[in-house]
Structure 1
């Protein structure tokens, strides 16, 4: 048969390479579903999602329902007559009726090696938890959160230098490649179905302000991973003199150093500030004082009176 007639559902940057692949490989994209325009920036002007921008550049029809669960939304998508619906970081759970609409089902591209890290923030949590590998999984969607049968996987290492930003960019390109292979298997009726093992499932819960706050009683390696996992969004932070201090880049200075006062600055270096933790010391390399720009930690020493003996809370 020819290429599957596709409806694509996605919203952020992560989803764009998958849409690019569909267009470049000649899949008939009957429509693109994305989240409504949102206020953005200081002026709070309505802004298109990255997927909407890409879809309009390809002259593809765009739908932006406030809720995908309404009768009107279902009827609009049904009218597009899709063979398959592809969902990549769309941002809403699909109802059962919509999941059952296309003959080839609804296929999701997820940024983890399922069943680990189901949920909304798999890239962040893989780094925060100190994982050394991650990857992409494509799966048949069902009503549960990332619980459907798996089709294909591809694994990549998480480098010690990776942040959520750098890993995101690698995975979005890998996602497009895995989706391409998955669609070829589906069209040839050779796609496998592997049931997820519930006993191995973990969840990547949504990030919150509590997650972002640094607990200096944790080991230096755990704090370093938190900083990497929250870069470039939303950022890890502590407080100094009752003001927020975001920490954007760190390195483990001494993983085994015996510490007495977690959060205390014990050394000023050419590159930054060395801080005691619950186990070992960590060097702050890039920081952002409240209402200021990001800067090298060494530049923050003079301008913000940070010195040996100060306590970060």
Structure 2
């Protein structure tokens, strides 16, 4: 099948490589414009662009996909299908209607749940036990099109945003190839979504990583995993940013008579720091102080002693 691929991050690069190695004809790759990165303001390519160059694919980087010049380019390319995976722009109806097999999206949730920008992270933040991939036809709504195939996968108790991201990319790549065969053979289903069961999730921002110790410990622990690797969950210690990478949850026996306020250190252990929360205790196992390396809590305590009564977040 002649396909035009549209995507930007690592998740999309995994899927693009699967399309290429499966024998489909990739007539072009569309990705977001290059960005300046770091203090030296060096130009950074998206993972999709880097992969496209590796395989000799023609790359297009429109600032806006609705620009007439880009729409004309796509028309001339005449793709049979447009494949979209974490691209980063909303496609106009003109573009959606161009390919005879339609625009196909690889979405990282079990639709209609978690439509929107950050379904992978929210499946962890909300404490889901499973998630998955949906291959769907795109329409002019946000993740509202008819579904073709779905694949499920469990979310492990120690799952992070990063590990789930990698897992779903592989599942999505395999499921897309299966869907493309069905589309080509005219055996693909069109399964309508139940809009009454839909949920939308907003884009993750850096500010969302800040921990609120009035939350229950179970929510804080999910937040730590869901925000890993970006933007990372953080608080403050002695005026410095303290990132928390791993933690465990412990119940507190007498929630009605707590000896400490939320955010207060209640116990220093050999390899952990126990902190009071709105409900239960958060046991910090791995952290990173501003300007320092990420390290196990035990190693951190050897060089930065903390006393019971210290309040995080202040």
What's the TM-score once normalised by structure 1's chain length? 0.96
**2:258 maps to 1:261:** no
Note the residue ranges of structure 2 that are not aligned, 5 or more in a row: none
Q: Which residue number in structure 2 is paired with residue 276 of structure 1?
A: 276
Cα distance in 1 between the residues matched to 2:253 and 2:164: 28
For 1:159, what is the secondary structure of its paired residue? Answer: coil
Q: Matches of residues 159-174 of structure 1 in structure 2 within 5 Å?
A: 159-174=156-171
Cα distance in 2 between the residues matched to 1:244 and 1:203: 30
CA distance 1:269–1:176, shift in 2 (3 Å): same
Q: Which residue number in structure 2 is paired with residue 91 of structure 1?
A: 88
1:151 aligned residue (148, 162, 167)? 148
Q: Tell me, yes or no, if the aligned pair for 2:28 and 2:60 is still in contact at 8 Å.
A: yes
Q: Tell me, yes or no, if the aligned pair for 2:124 and 2:225 is still in contact at 8 Å.
A: yes
Spell out, residue by residue over 1:245-302, the C-alpha distance to the aligned partner (whole angstroms, 9 max, x if none). 1111111133656334111111111221011111111111111112322122223334
**2:224 maps to 1:220:** no
Q: Which residue number in structure 1 is paired with residue 120 of structure 2?
A: 123
Q: Tell me, yes or no, if the aligned pair for 1:257 and 1:281 is still in contact at 8 Å.
A: no
Structure 1 consecutive aligned stretches of length 4 or more whose deviation exceeds 4 Å? none
For 2:77, what is the secondary structure of its paired residue? Answer: coil
What's the TM-score once normalised by structure 2's chain length? 0.95
Q: Which residue number in structure 1 is paired with residue 181 of structure 2?
A: 184
Cα distance in 1 between the residues matched to 2:237 and 2:16: 44
Q: Matches of residues 1-313 of structure 1 in structure 2 within 5 Å?
A: 4-254=1-251, 258=255, 259=258, 260-313=260-313
| Most deviating of 9-18 and 204-213 | 204-213
Per-residue deviation, 1:142? 1.0
Q: Tell me, yes or no, if the aligned pair for 2:31 and 2:46 is still in contact at 8 Å.
A: yes
Q: Tell me, yes or no, if the aligned pair for 2:268 and 2:306 is still in contact at 8 Å.
A: no
Cα distance in 2 between the residues matched to 1:291 and 1:257: 37
Q: How many residues align?
A: 310
Cα distance in 1 between the residues matched to 2:160 and 2:15: 22
CA RMSD of aligned residues (A): 1.3
Note the residue ranges of structure 1 that are not aligned, 5 or more in a row: none
Q: Tell me, yes or no, if the aligned pair for 1:133 and 1:156 is still in contact at 8 Å.
A: yes
Per-residue deviation, 1:18? 1.4
Cα distance in 2 between the residues matched to 1:256 and 1:27: 59
